[in-house]
Structure 1
Amino acid sequence: MRRFRVRWLRSAVPHPLVLGDEPAQWGEYSGWMLAGLLFVIDAALILLFALLGNRSHGTGLSPVDIASTAWPFLVGLTVAWLLTRSWSRAAQLWPAGIIIVGITVAVGMVLRVLFTDGGAELSFILVATGTLGVFLLGRRLLTWLLLPCSR
């Protein structure tokens, strides 16, 4: 995978990770490291979605409560990344970003109905699609704007 250079983050301070024989510099990422970071950010946005939902419905804010709400959508995100091979197009809004939102919500709803006490009412499907759409597509837009190498 190719290396990404982020010009505005360059520094002479060595990054604690080592790539090959040389220490990596701040702002220099291998493609896999950047893709992994962007996947973690997507997952964190899903956890934020679960936290906000639990808070608004008063269903508990413990880590277990949030994880029990988020896990179907985290599985959906993982399936979506694998099906779209998103590691190679982590900033793409169309079609990969839209497909990722759709798969994440669809798989999340199916797993939620099959394995949890949660339902999949139309209002929840619409709110989840809108919220995750703003979060996941917004992250892709910011990635596209901030990392010229992702264009």
Structure 2
Amino acid sequence: MKPTNFFEEAKFISCVPPEAQDNDDFVVNNAVDTLGLKELGFLVATGDLNAAIGSVAEASAICIEQSDEADDNYSDVTDAELSGPIADTESGKLYLIGVDLAKTHKRFMRVKSPHVGDGSASNSLLFIGALAVPDQTPLVAADAGLEERVLV
């Protein structure tokens, strides 16, 4: 059986590899090079959580930032954020922030300083970047197996 176009064209990046943290920033935060591609999805997978997770601080929503350089001068991508921080009750959930690269965006993107609050134990999280131009997109987040999907 031949794979669909999505899997033939997709590029996956381990932005924040599986890691456990408590009351700190996640250590690894790889940027995604979007050159030559039209769509980018940041898939967020939570493991066991004991504290909220956000960007910069646990009380803020997870968001995406962009830059013309891989390692410097990042700024927020307008509207590319979840509706709020990921709560400590959201263990084992999936979220998606989608970015239409056909719109004006800079070349490199990453999750903005993922940070976890102070919990009773370590909290685990994973971010995967997927770049492609799939033939069909599910109409609602639930059809894609997601808790939330944001398209910018």
What is the TM-score when the length of structure 1 is the normalising length?
0.21
Task: Pick 1 or 2: higher relative contact order, CA cutoff 8 A, min separation 6.
Answer: 2
Q: Based on CA coordinates, which of the two structures has the bigger radius of gyration? A: 1
Which of the pair is proportionally richer in strand?
2
Which of the pair is proportionally richer in helix?
1
